[in-house]
Amino acid sequence: MTKKDFLRRRQDLMDIMGPDTIAILPNAPIANRNRDVDYNYRGDSNFHYLSGFDEPESVIVIVPGRPHGEYLLFCREKDLAKEIWDGYRAGQEGAIDLYGADDSYPITDLDDILPGLLEGKEKAFYTMGKLPSFDQRMVGWLNHLRNASRQGKHSPTEIIELDHTLNELRLFKSKSEIKAMRYAADVSAQAHIRAMQFTQPGQWEYQVEAEIIHEFMKNDCRSPAYPSIVGGGENGCILHYIENNHRLKNNDLLLIDAGAEYDYYAADITRTFPVNGTFSNPQKALYNIVLDAQKAAIEEVKPGNHWNQPHEAAVAVLTEGLLNLGLLKGKLSKLIKKESYREFYMHRTGHWLGMDVHDVGDYKVGGQWRELEAGMVLTVEPGLYIRDPEHIDKKWHFTGIRIEDDVLVTKIGHDVLSKAAPKEVDDIEALMAEAK
Ligand code: GLY
Ligand code: MN
Ligand code: MN
């Protein structure tokens, strides 16, 4: 993203905020891993969305119409000794020159300056409950102003959830956001191809994971968007399996759910393929049901359809497929109504995708499923997970299958951003055979 992108976003926010308002947004805190070791820092998505600024201990303040500057960035001061140990800091000059702040102050001055900025405003856009230690400070500043009301000071009478306001903006992706997401999806698709080419019986799941991470990093995606799921056989039936520490067995399927993060944007792709390169007949039968369900769901992604239509399409195809294989018994319409498929398909068919892998944005508006509109991006990810229920023939046991793509809603329909990752049985088998 460029400085212009961030400026446009702040302007969009200010248009919504209106006059006599203020927005306050602290960045995410550093998370400790163990003793002196912290997790790699990844800033709050909304903070990055507005600023492109990625240092911890920073706070964005936006005051529409403020004569001395509308966009204030509080951040760490430059400090050579600290920079030698922990890395570069933009400081106040950098906040203005590099990140387009109208004004910048040391983060240590926040308590002195914030009450003055809050004074006289009618509404404060701030998200309570996300960062309790910052909530305390906010309450302190507001109380300070309330206590000074006899001196004619006025404190905001309304607190409006800033995150919700930003979430609705983030739901609609701009051209440059779509470009970043397309790239993240492309790199991730290549990583899935690489995993298919690499996989052999006897390998450890984490060795396949290493191939995926290598492909991400080699292509400028420094981190996965979420911990990769690399689950062979029965581990493919664990929806959030991230241990990735078992050996791959000859006749098992391998389910990989992995996506790269590029410039703060996520891809989220799942592919399932045979460890030895060839699907068995039962595996193929189940796989093709999931694939048909996924294709039917993707067909429902178009403007004017509502959020739940892809899920409804997937559920109909999955249930019919299970019925045809004898894994469910009864009348199709009744099985769908009773949600009998839930024994084998217990999650929903997708979610919004963007800066967060489970991205922001409401799914219902006014109590109704939201209509899909151009610029939204969602995943379509049906699956079937058959562990070892006694009433099911053993030939189906421990088969976990999910196929997940990232789909952009366009003006006339959809565009599958992750289409470079093969998903037809023949294509996967040919790719794996060629790699041997
Ligand atoms: N990778 C998380 C999900 O598919 O929702
Ligand atoms: Mn996924
Ligand atoms: Mn997903």
Q: Give helix 175-198 / helix 425-435 axis angle, nearest 10°.
A: 60
Cβ atoms within 10 Å of 305's Cβ, excluding its own: 19
Distance (angstroms) between ligand 3 centre and the Cα of 25 equals: 27
Residues 314 and 177 in one domain: yes
Q: Which pLDDT score, from 0 to 100, does residue 147 have?
A: 87
Residues 269 and 387 in one domain: yes
Residues 161 and 188 in one domain: no
Range of the domain at 327: 172-435
Select from 126, 144, 169 the last residue of a domain: 169
Assess whether 381 carries a catalytic annotation: yes
Residues lining ligand 1, CB < 6 A? 226, 257, 268, 351, 357, 381, 404
Assess whether 36 carries a catalytic annotation: yes
Rounded CA gap, 300 and 298, in Å?
Answer: 5
Q: DSSP strand E in 154-204: where?
A: 158-160
Residues 211 and 339 in one domain: yes
The tokens describing 381, both together, are 């990810």
Which residue among 209, 234, 263, 404 is the active-site one?
A: 404
Distance (angstroms) between ligand 2 centre and the Cα of 212 equals: 14
The CATH number of residue 379's host domain is: 3.90.230.10
Residues 99 and 232 in one domain: no
Given a cut of 90, is residue 263 above it in pLDDT? yes
Pick from 241, 404, 406 the residue to mutate for probing ligand 1's pocket: most ligand atoms within 8 Å of its CB.
404
Residues 259 and 325 in one domain: yes
Residues 328 and 431 in one domain: yes
Assess whether 390 carries a catalytic annotation: no
Q: Which pLDDT score, from 0 to 100, does residue 97 have?
A: 98
Residue 233: helix, strand or coil by DSSP? helix
Tens digits of per-residue pLDDT, 33-75? 999 999 999 999 999 999 999 999 999 999 999 999 999 999 9
Which residue among 9, 48, 311, 402 is the active-site one?
A: 402
How many structural domains does the chain have? 2
Which residue among 268, 300, 320, 359 is the active-site one?
A: 268
Q: Which pLDDT score, from 0 to 100, does residue 153 have?
A: 82
The CATH number of residue 18's host domain is: 3.40.350.10
Q: How much of the chain, in percent, has pLDDT values that exceed 70?
A: 100
Residues 303 and 397 in one domain: yes
Tens digits of per-residue pLDDT, 112-163? 999 999 999 999 999 999 999 999 999 999 999 888 878 888 889 999 999 9
Assess whether 347 carries a catalytic annotation: yes
Residues 414 and 338 in one domain: yes
Q: What number does the ligand 1 atom closest to the CA of 268 have?
A: 1
Q: Whose CA is nearest to atom 4 of ligand 1?
A: 268
Q: What number does the ligand 1 atom closest to the CA of 351 have?
A: 5
Distance (angstroms) between ligand 1 centre and the Cα of 246 equals: 21
Tens digits of per-residue pLDDT, 320-346? 999 999 999 999 999 999 999 999 999
Rounded CA gap, 357 and 362, in Å?
Answer: 15
Find the mean pLDDT for residues 82-105.
97
Distance (angstroms) between ligand 2 centre and the Cα of 285 equals: 22
Tens digits of per-residue pLDDT, 190-239? 999 999 999 999 999 999 999 999 999 999 999 999 999 999 999 999 99
Assess whether 268 carries a catalytic annotation: yes
DSSP character at residue 12: H
Pick from 226, 269, 272 the residue to mutate for probing ligand 1's pocket: most ligand atoms within 8 Å of its CB.
226
Distance (angstroms) between ligand 1 centre and the Cα of 296 equals: 20
Q: Which pLDDT score, from 0 to 100, does residue 152 have?
A: 82
* Confidence bin at 368 (pLDDT 50/70/90): very high
Residues 390 and 296 in one domain: yes
Assess whether 292 carries a catalytic annotation: no
Assess whether 240 carries a catalytic annotation: yes
Pick from 357, 359, 380 the residue to mutate for probing ligand 1's pocket: most ligand atoms within 8 Å of its CB.
357
Q: Which pLDDT score, from 0 to 100, does residue 198 have?
A: 98
Pick from 378, 379, 401 the residue to mutate for probing ligand 1's pocket: most ligand atoms within 8 Å of its CB.
379
Assess whether 161 carries a catalytic annotation: no
Q: Which pLDDT score, from 0 to 100, does residue 171 have?
A: 98
Q: Which pLDDT score, from 0 to 100, does residue 266 have?
A: 98
Mean pLDDT (the chain, rounded): 97
Q: Which pLDDT score, from 0 to 100, does residue 366 have?
A: 95
Q: How much of the chain, in percent, has pLDDT values that exceed 90?
A: 96
Given a cut of 90, is residue 257 above it in pLDDT? yes
Assess whether 358 carries a catalytic annotation: yes
Distance (angstroms) between ligand 2 centre and the Cα of 296 equals: 19
Assess whether 402 carries a catalytic annotation: yes
Which residue among 103, 163, 177, 257 is the active-site one?
A: 257
Select from 119, 150, 169 the last residue of a domain: 169
Q: What number does the ligand 1 atom closest to the CA of 404 have?
A: 4
Q: Which pLDDT score, from 0 to 100, does residue 154 have?
A: 86
Given a cut of 90, is residue 436 above it in pLDDT? no
Select from 145, 169, 193 the last residue of a domain: 169
Find the mean pLDDT for residues 399-418.
98
Residues 361 and 386 in one domain: yes
Distance (angstroms) between ligand 2 centre and the Cα of 226 equals: 9
Residues 57 and 9 in one domain: yes
